[in-house]
């Protein structure tokens, strides 16, 4: 006898996930009204830990980035990611879930130095913060958002020229991007790999070729700062819809200021120009703008909040994955 999809059996992993997700939606709404409604986790290995009312669950995914891919400049090659579905759970059930995740990570990943264990979780959930810290994860990056509105504009510098980058600026853009990568690798998750220059050159060439907005700052004819930007849609089914409310968003991909000009106002001038242009949206309204920055970075962790960006999601990570306690 055939028919439609069968309903999940009571206490089956699928039903446990569904029940906990409903409670988690209420948890997120109470934590931070800027969060989108939590979506079901991606396909992966389902973990169910504990018994009601202390039952929690999660989905574990494993990803390998191929050699030469752009994400390898900010990610380990092998990534084990936990997608918690915890309802309204407190400390003890969360500890048990992370313990179960640690036991589920592939042995080959735990032995690999180029590996990471990752969790992305709402920044305001301090219950989870305590648990993740206890298990050796660190807040390596945050996704921060800014609502549309006036941008704090520093006093203009008459010697500074701001303009859109053109394909002929490729070499200058690559130089600044590599300088930023070298700095970020000391204070965040970035990695200076042997093919970094080739990867950056290809990525930036493609961005400039597509006409995606990249702003440059020049002083005395020399490029001293750059900010790469774009627009993205948090549409149903898109990865961004899991992180941001539905709609069109502007994003700041990367900002770079040469070392000699840091603290001189170049970054602030670039940010004000770029954010204003992103919020204009080319005539299409935007919900806001977003970016990623590293909390351990002593520059960006001050600069971007001052520009109006507030953490929404924190990316918790431990490298290598074997460091997960």
CA distances from 277 to 169, 241, 274, 321 (A): 20, 23, 5, 40
pLDDT in tens, 140-177: 999 999 999 998 888 889 999 999 999 999 999 999 99
For position 317, what pLDDT does the model report?
98
10 Å CB burial of residue 152 (0-12, 13-18, 19+) is exposed
| Sheet order of strands, 78-85 included | 45-49, 56-64, 78-85, 115-122, 310-318, 138-146, 288-293, 247-257, 222-234, 214-219, 160-164
SS3 118: strand
Contact yes or no for 227/244 (Cβ under 8 A): no
Pairing of strands 78-85, 115-122: parallel
Task: Give the alpha-carbon dihedral of 260, 75, 33, 86, to 10 degrees.
Answer: -150
For position 2, what pLDDT does the model report?
43
Kindly list the averaged pLDDT for each block of 10 residues, start to end, along the chain of length 325: 50 93 96 95 96 95 96 97 96 97 94 98 96 97 96 88 97 97 95 97 96 96 97 93 96 95 94 94 89 96 96 98 96
For position 1, what pLDDT does the model report?
38
Sign of CA dihedral 75, 78, 80, 81: positive
Residue 321 has a CB neighbour count (10 Å cut-off) of: 24
Residue 293 has a CB neighbour count (10 Å cut-off) of: 23
CA-CA distance, 205 to 168, in Å (whole number)?
10
pLDDT in tens, 75-124: 999 999 999 999 999 999 999 999 999 999 999 999 999 999 999 999 99
User: What is the 8-class DSSP label of residue 154?
Assistant: P
For position 31, what pLDDT does the model report?
96
The pair of three-digit structure tokens given for residue 31, joined into one six-digit string: 């934590």
CA-CA distance, 17 to 150, in Å (whole number)?
42
């Amino acid at each position: 006898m055939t028919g439609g999809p069968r309903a999940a059996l009571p206490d089956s992993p699928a039903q446990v996930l569904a029940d906990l997700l409903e409670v988690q939606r209420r948890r997120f709404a109470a934590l931070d009204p800027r969060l989108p409604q939590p979506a079901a986790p991606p396909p992966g290995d389902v973990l169910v830990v504990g018994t009601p009312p202390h039952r929690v669950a999660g989905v574990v995914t494993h990803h390998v980035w191929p050699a030469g891919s752009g994400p390898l400049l900010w990610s380990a090659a092998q990534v084990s990611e936990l997608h918690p579905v915890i309802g309204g759970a407190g400390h003890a059930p969360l500890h048990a879930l992370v313990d179960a995740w640690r036991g589920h990570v592939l042995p080959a990943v735990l032995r690999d130095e180029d590996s990471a264990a990752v969790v992305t979780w709402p920044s305001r959930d301090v219950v989870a913060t305590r648990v993740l810290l206890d298990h050796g994860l660190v807040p390596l990056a945050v996704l921060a958002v800014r609502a549309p509105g006036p941008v704090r504009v520093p006093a203009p510098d008459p010697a500074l020229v701001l303009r859109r980058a053109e394909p002929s600026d490729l070499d200058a853009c690559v130089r600044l991007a590599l300088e930023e990568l070298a700095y970020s690798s000391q204070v965040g998750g970035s990695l200076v790999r042997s093919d970094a220059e080739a990867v950056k050159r290809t990525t930036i060439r493609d961005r400039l070729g597509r006409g995606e907005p990249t702003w440059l700052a020049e002083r005395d004819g020399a490029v001293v700062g750059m900010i790469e930007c774009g627009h993205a849609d948090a549409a149903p089914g898109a990865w961004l819809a899991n992180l941001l409310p539905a709609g069109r968003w502007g994003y700041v991909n990367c900002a770079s200021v040469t070392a000699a000009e840091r603290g001189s106002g170049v970054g602030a001038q670039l940010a004000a120009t770029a954010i204003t242009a992103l919020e204009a949206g080319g005539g299409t309204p935007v919900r806001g703008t977003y970016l990623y920055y590293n909390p351990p970075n002593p520059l960006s962790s001050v600069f971007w909040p001052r520009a109006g960006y507030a953490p929404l999601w924190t990316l918790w990570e431990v490298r290598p994955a074997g460091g997960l306690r």
